[in-house]
Structure formats: C-alpha cells, structure tokens
Amino acid sequence: MADESESTAVSGADDDGRAEKTKADKPKKKQRPFWQELPILIGIAAVITALVVNFIGRPYVIPSQSMEPTLHGCAGCTGDRIYVEKLSYYFGDPQPGDVVVFVGPTSSWNDTYRSTRSTNTVVRGIQNGLSFFGLVPPDENDLVKRVIAIGGQTVQCCDAEGRVMVDGKPLDETYIEAGRNNPFNPAMPNIPFNQGGRAFGPVKVPEGNLWVMGDNRRESRDSRYHQEDEFDGTVPVSDVRGKAVFKIWPPSRIGPIRSQDPQTN
C-alpha cells in the first residue's frame, strides 16, 4: 500500500512539473509598439466621430444676425458656434418655439448662397471628406430660424397690437427685443412687412412643413420673404437638419438655447 501511495504522489508531482514547464515554455504574446496601434486607434476614433456627426449631432456657425439676441452673428464678427442635435426629430417633428437648422428648400432661399468649396477637384474631395467627420461645414445653405407654426396651422400678422397670430390667436414672443421688430402703426396695420410694416398672410402651412421666422425680424429673410415659392414660404420637415440646443463658442456666450413656445400664452 505504501508503494502505491508513493507512486501516486510521484506521478502527481511529475504532472505538476510538466504543466509548469509547458506554461514556462509557452511564448508570451508580444505587445505591439504604440506606433503600430496608433493608426488603429485613429481609425476607431474616426468611425465614432462620423457616426456622431451624421446621426447624433454636429456644430454649426451662425453667419448672420437674423436670430439676435438669441444667437449672435454678423459679417466680419465672431458668430456663435452652436451644437445641433438630430435625435429629437427621430421620434417626432419640430414644434413651435424650437430653434432649428435647415437647408434652404428652394431657389428663393438659396439665391445669395455661394459654395465655400474649392474649384480644385482634389481639394474639394478633401473638404467633402473632412465635412463627413464634422471638421468642415457641409456644402449646403444651412439656415437657422425659430418655428412659429406647424403643418395645418394658419399664420398671419397682425392683431391690433401688432402681434403675429396662429389660428387667430396672438403669439407671446418674449424672445423678440422691441428694437429688432418692424415698426407697427395701429392706424395702418396692413402695411406689408417688406414696406416698413409687419403685415403678411394669412398662410395655411401645409402638412409636413413649418413656418419659420428669425427673432430679429428686421434683419431676417425668413418664411415671409418666400411666399411666392412652391411651399408658400414654408420649410419641409425633411429639410430640417436638427434642433439647436447649445451655444458652444465663444466662451462668453456658452449656454443652452431654449425652446420657447409662443403659442402657449
């Protein structure tokens, strides 16, 4: 019995030794140098960036003063850089009060737009590639305005106090500064917006479209100016790029962009 026990013990020791030797003989996995891993990391980061920019949101620059004081912009100055998210409109359409970025839907919106792309084919290709990753603006006429009325509603101006009305009810537009609206004379309420007054409409907004206006009414070429086009000045929801939610630059103006529904008064 003792011999068997000793034999078993020796056998077990031999097995343990062989196992340890096998582990010791197994070559260790060699770690890649950082310079070899760097392209992989860059590729992963590029894919993630492209997914975020094209499906979640991207930054835009405000080039005009049409949304003052909510958003700042003018020729030759540092315009606000805003973040525009896309997720909200995957689950529903824009609502009154939303500040939206959209591409000019018809030629009347785009008549003054000039592409910023190079005429050189190679350079233009590089610019388009960088745009895909959010490093260069898209080659399109992107505009920013506030939604005033949605499909099925009727919009016009003005009531006895010079206010825009939707479905016959005046709007409470607290985001408009007095000096940034067109003048209004109660004695002559029907002076058109483009002749020194405020009057326009009525316009019935088609289903699936939006009536949009700038907060700076005196300096905004918005839906009022495009009533002769095929959409009666409205913007198809399909042309909306997203909802402006945050000012990310310059540092002095960083902060949220709030939706203020003017129809809830």
Catalytic residue among 64, 66, 220, 223: 66
| Alpha carbons 50 and 131: distance in angstroms, whole number | 9
For residue 169, indicate whether it is catalytic: no
For the chain, the first-to-last Cα distance in angstroms comes to: 99
Instruction: State both tokens at 135.
Output: 């490093």
Amino acid letter, residue 212: V
- Written as six digits, the tokens of 108 are 């009347």
CA distance 250 to 126: 27
Dihedral (C-alpha) 233, 238, 243, 247: value to the nearest 10 degrees? -70
In angstroms, the CA 28 to CA 24 distance is 9
Query: Could you give the dihedral angle defined by the CA atoms of residues 164, 167, 168 and 170, in that order, rounded to the nearest 10 degrees?
Result: -40
66: annotated active-site residue: yes
Check if the beta carbon of residue 135 is closer than 8 Å to that of residue 89: no
DSSP-derived 3-state class of residue 146 = strand
- Provide the 10 A C-beta neighbour count for residue 98: 25
Which of 7, 30, 118, 145 is flagged as catalytic?
A: 145
Q: Which residues are designated catalytic? A: 66, 145
